[in-house]
């Protein structure tokens, strides 16, 4: 009796017939486009990434264009995708590719991993898709597939389990068809072996899956040990001068680095500091936003001021209120700005 097909053989065959083939960053060997998509897809769903990816390419069609662009323009194109350190690393990486590598991306995962914002799994994905290198990936979707298929116990973020999964991922690499295999892992985790309600009946590996055999799809992979989520609060002065809103560019690092937000802090102190004549103020409903490591309550205060004079502090700018939620602001700030527009209608 012939041996059953291997994990990689089965996955490659499935990807070629049932996997995804029409995503905007597929069917290319261009490392720039592949790298850009991989960075955007970190912690972000495909459906969310596609329009950002297309707009980004429209403004920065190649690595030289991205490297030459001001960081403010890059951040503005990233606004709403979250995890803004990705955008800053993306820009710095492009500059290093141009300055240190003559505008050509390194062709091995080991070299790619030395660039800003490119971790081990992302480097492997770029090397596999752009250069055909036989390298293992291990993103969140892949961890879930491997934990369920092979019954790996423990939280994947734990160092020992993480190392175990890397060894497993390396051991499963096929000798050929690395592109289809890598894409197959991504496709299986994203469309079939999903976190909730996995479609086991559509899985090509269901007959060998330990989680399905033991009815443990909801238990594997193990969840992160629960910890209390820290709570923070911040007040924002939504200062309106006629039909304009005052925004301030954040420092390049830290929360919302490089993005535009309303001035943070006490309303009266802010108005006095900027020499603005405060006519009225009104507290708007608070907004809660959850980040990876904490939950922030944004307390907005709508402030009407008389026609303002020229502002002397750097980083401040007046923006038309109708456009302010589209000029490179974080998603929760965009919601606050829409509150202002509704409150004044």
Q: Is 219 a catalytic residue?
A: no
Of the candidates 180, 39, 35, the one whose C-alpha atom is nearest the C-alpha of residue 106 is 35
Residue 14 to residue 82: CA distance in whole angstroms: 33
Write phi, then psi, for 32 (nearest 5 degrees): -65, -50
Classify residue 105 by burial, with Cβ atoms within 10 Å: 0-12, 13-18, 19+: buried
Catalytic residue among 38, 111, 113, 201: 38
Residue 137 to residue 118: CA distance in whole angstroms: 12
Residue 139 to residue 123: CA distance in whole angstroms: 11
The phi-psi region of residue 227 (left if phi > 0; otherwise alpha if psi is between -120 and 50; otherwise beta) is beta
Residue 230 to residue 304: CA distance in whole angstroms: 33
Residue 22 to residue 268: CA distance in whole angstroms: 54
Active site residues: 38
């Amino acid at each position: 009796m012939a041996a059953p097909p291997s994990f990689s053989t089965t996955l490659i065959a499935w990807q070629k017939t049932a996997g995804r083939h029409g995503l905007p960053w597929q069917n290319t060997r261009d490392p720039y486009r592949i790298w850009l998509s991989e960075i955007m897809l970190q912690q972000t769903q495909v459906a969310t990434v596609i329009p950002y990816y297309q707009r980004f390419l429209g403004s920065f069609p190649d690595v030289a264009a991205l490297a030459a662009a001001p960081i403010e323009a890059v951040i503005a194109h990233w606004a709403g995708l979250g995890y803004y350190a990705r955008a800053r690393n993306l820009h710095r990486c492009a500059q290093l590719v141009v300055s240190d590598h003559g505008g050509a991306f390194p062709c091995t995962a080991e070299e790619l991993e030395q660039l800003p914002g490119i971790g081990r799994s992302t480097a492997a994905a770029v090397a596999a898709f752009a250069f055909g290198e036989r390298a293992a990936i291990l993103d969140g979707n892949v961890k879930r597939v491997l934990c369920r298929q092979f019954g790996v116990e423990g939280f994947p973020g734990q160092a020992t389990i993480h190392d175990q999964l890397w060894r497993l991922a390396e051991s499963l690499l096929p000798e050929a068809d690395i592109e289809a295999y890598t894409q197959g892992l991504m496709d299986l985790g994203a469309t079939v072996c999903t976190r909730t309600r996995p479609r086991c009946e559509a899985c090509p590996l269901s007959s060998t899956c330990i989680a399905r055999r033991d009815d443990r799809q909801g238990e594997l992979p193990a969840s992160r040990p629960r910890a209390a989520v820290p709570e923070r609060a911040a007040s924002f002065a939504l200062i309106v001068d006629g039909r304009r809103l005052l925004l301030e560019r954040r420092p390049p690092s830290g929360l919302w680095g490089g993005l535009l937000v309303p001035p943070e802090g006490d309303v009266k102190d802010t108005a006095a500091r900027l020499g603005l004549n405060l006519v009225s103020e009104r507290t708007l409903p608070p907004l809660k936003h959850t980040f990876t490591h904490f939950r922030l309550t944004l307390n907005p205060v709508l402030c009407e001021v008389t026609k303002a004079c020229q502002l002397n502090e750097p980083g401040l700018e007046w923006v038309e209120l109708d456009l302010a939620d589209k000029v490179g602001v974080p998603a929760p700030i965009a919601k606050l700005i829409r509150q202002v527009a509704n409150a004044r209608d």
